């Protein structure tokens, strides 16, 4: 499916943010959410890899390093499908603005870097409609890496791409892995009509671009939550 929710005549709209870890996308989507909420609009926020049901299996697989590129891909697709079918679609049918921190493009990028056939991955996510608006937060690789690595965090095995045996050093592995993901994102940017945001700018400057784009592309007035009908 390559249609957006608007093209499928859903009353709701879906906005996704994509980008590397450390690109600041989560901050930006949070600020967008606050702005929409303060206008009294029907908003729902959903995060990648957060389905209660699948989480257990995913964290077990990650902790015990049981995942191969194929099962890594499938378990994330399961997580996504669960959120998609049980939350996103019903809310979009009910006329919500749904904000997604990462969407199918995260899977396209990561799974392809891990060696899964791109057509296979895209085929699996074919049940999902495309976002009405996708922001891609484009930061210089070094800037993203610094944001994450400055804290000298304990990088997790799969997060650092250690399963790909790129380097025995988790930090070096993370750098190479993130670099390859960035290449994938850049390659998809035109194809999927990403709205590219310069993530090297100050938070406020980025947010004002984001808000302007959202206001110009989505008729926000039609998403005002009615006081007469309970929304939750």
Could you say whether residue 75 binds other proteins (CB under 8 A)? yes
- The CB density around residue 142, as the number of other CB atoms within 10 Å, is 10
CB-based contacts of 182, cutoff 8 Å, min separation 6: 20, 141, 144
- The CB density around residue 91, as the number of other CB atoms within 10 Å, is 19
CB of 206 to other proteins, least distance (A): 34
**CB of 3 or CB of 86, closer to other proteins:** 86
- SS3 sequence of the chain: CCCECCCCCCCCEEEEEEECCCCCHHHHHHHHHHHHHHCCECEEEEECCCCHHHHHHHHHHHHCCCCCHHHHHHHHHHHHHHHHHHHHHHHHHCCCEEEEECCHHHHHHHHHHCCCCHHHHHHHHHHCCECCEEEEEECCHHHHHHHHHCCCCCCCCCCCCHHHCCCCCHHHHHHHHHHHHHHHHHHHCCCCCCEEEECCCCHHHHHHHHHHHHHHHCCHHHHECCCCCCCC
Could you say whether residue 119 binds other proteins (CB under 8 A)? yes
Question: Which stretch, 62-70, 101-109, 149-157, 200-208, contacts other proteins (CB under 8 A)?
Answer: 62-70
Question: Which stretch, 9-17, 60-68, 178-186, 204-212, contacts other proteins (CB under 8 A)?
Answer: 60-68
Question: Which stretch, 69-77, 102-110, 132-140, 144-152, contacts other proteins (CB under 8 A)?
Answer: 69-77
Question: Which stretch, 18-26, 77-85, 102-110, 190-198, contacts other proteins (CB under 8 A)?
Answer: 77-85
Residues 128-187 that bind other proteins (CB under 8 A): none
CB of 152 to other proteins, least distance (A): 31
For the record, the structure tokens of 1 come out as 């499916």
**CB of 75 or CB of 210, closer to other proteins:** 75
Could you say whether residue 95 binds other proteins (CB under 8 A)? no
Could you say whether residue 56 binds other proteins (CB under 8 A)? yes
Could you say whether residue 67 binds other proteins (CB under 8 A)? yes
Question: Which stretch, 41-49, 72-80, 178-186, 218-226, contacts other proteins (CB under 8 A)?
Answer: 72-80
Among 81, 176, 201, 225, binds other proteins (CB under 8 A): 81
Q: Which residues are near other proteins by CB under 8 A?
A: 53-54, 56-57, 60-61, 66-71, 74-75, 77-78, 81-82, 84-86, 114-117, 119-120, 123-124, 126-127
């Amino acid at each position: 499916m390559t249609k957006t929710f608007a093209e499928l005549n859903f009353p709701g709209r879906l906005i996704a943010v994509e980008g590397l870890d450390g690109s600041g996308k989560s901050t930006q989507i949070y600020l967008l959410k606050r702005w929409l909420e303060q206008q009294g609009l029907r908003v729902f926020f959903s995060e990648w890899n957060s389905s209660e049901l699948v989480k257990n299996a995913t964290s077990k697989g990650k902790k015990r390093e049981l995942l191969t590129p194929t099962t890594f891909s499938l378990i994330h697709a399961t997580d996504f499908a669960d959120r998609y079918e049980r939350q996103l679609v019903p809310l979009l049918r009910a006329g919500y603005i749904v904000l997604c921190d990462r969407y199918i493009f995260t899977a396209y990028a990561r799974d392809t870097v891990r060696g899964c056939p791109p057509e296979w991955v895209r085929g699996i996510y074919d049940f999902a409609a495309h976002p009405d608006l996708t922001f891609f937060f484009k930061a210089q690789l070094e800037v993203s890496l610094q944001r994450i690595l400055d804290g000298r965090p304990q990088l997790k095995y799969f997060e650092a791409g250690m399963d790909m045996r790129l380097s025995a050093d988790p930090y070096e592995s993370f750098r190479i892995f993130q670099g390859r993901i960035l290449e994938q994102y850049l390659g998809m940017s035109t194809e999927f009509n990403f709205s590219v945001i310069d993530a090297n700018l100050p938070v406020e400057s980025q947010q004002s671009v984001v808000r302007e784009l959202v206001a110009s592309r989505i008729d926000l007035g039609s998403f005002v939550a009615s006081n007469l009908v309970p929304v939750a």
